[in-house]
Copies of this chain bind each other. A is one copy, B any other.
Amino acid sequence: MSSSDKRQAADTPGHAKIRQMSRGSYDRDLAYEILDQGLVAHCGFIHEDRPMVIPMAYARVGDRVYIHGASTTRIITNNSAGVPASLTVTMIDGLVVARSAFHHSMNYRCAIVHGTARLVEDPSEQIEALAAITDHLLPGRWNECREMMTKEHKATGVLVLEIEHASTKIRTGGPVDDKEDLGTHVWAGTVPVVTALGQALAAADVPDGTPQPASIPAARRKFV
């Protein structure tokens, strides 16, 4: 996300993989790891000759990504053979503050996959997809819920993106300034960006004594 990123090489031990690929990579395993860690996917479609980018809940299963796609099914309903689609998952890890404006950047992990998207029509594949999407953020939640009803399945649009191409973009580390700018009394460094789950809050109409289930992250230690 900066012109200077091109020069960036991860320089911390244990990042040999990242250093090898000099920030861009077609390592499918690494892309899948990022997909599996992400919170939301930004899906790209072409609709009436325009690029559409829509945030969606998702989950990866093998070489497929399932997308909870109510709002986009209209794009592909009439394309049973599928349409070209892409999906990008980005996690921002920090702001990189350099001495010069030019070298400001962000630390981030990003996976970009391309493929063909189609509507999931097979009922058993739809169930597998919805279980994966539900469990992606709250592992085990699917089995804590009652079974879905037929009318619910019919009302749910699920898309599958068959991954044909996967790549990653990663930046780590501190600012990379020009030599001439070092030694000046201009502050430089990084500001971490942290995305975390807070303490779960029960809905007001949950009966007293209902236990918080295993899928919901335990209450964090509180500092009062």
What would 8 A/B residue contacts be, using CB atoms closer than 8 Å?
A44-B44, A99-B146, A101-B141, A101-B145, A182-B205, A185-B211, A189-B200, A193-B198
B1, A56: Cβ atoms under 8 Å? yes
B54, B187, B216: the one within 8 Å of A187 (CB):
B216
Decide if A2 touches B134 in the complex (CB within 8 Å).
no
Chain B: which residue is nearest A6 at the CB level? B70
Question: Looking at the complex, which of A13-21, A25-33, A149-157 is the stretch in contact with chain B?
Answer: A149-157
> Residues of A within 8 Å of B, CB-based: how many?
97
A100 to chain B, nearest CB (A): 6
Bound Cα distance A49, B130 (Å): 30
A residues whose Cβ falls under 8 Å from a Cβ of B: 1-3, 5-6, 39-40, 42-46, 49-57, 68, 70, 84-88, 90, 92, 95, 97-102, 104, 106, 108, 110, 112, 114, 130-131, 134, 137-138, 141-142, 144-146, 148-149, 152, 155-157, 169, 174-175, 181-207, 209-213, 216-217, 223
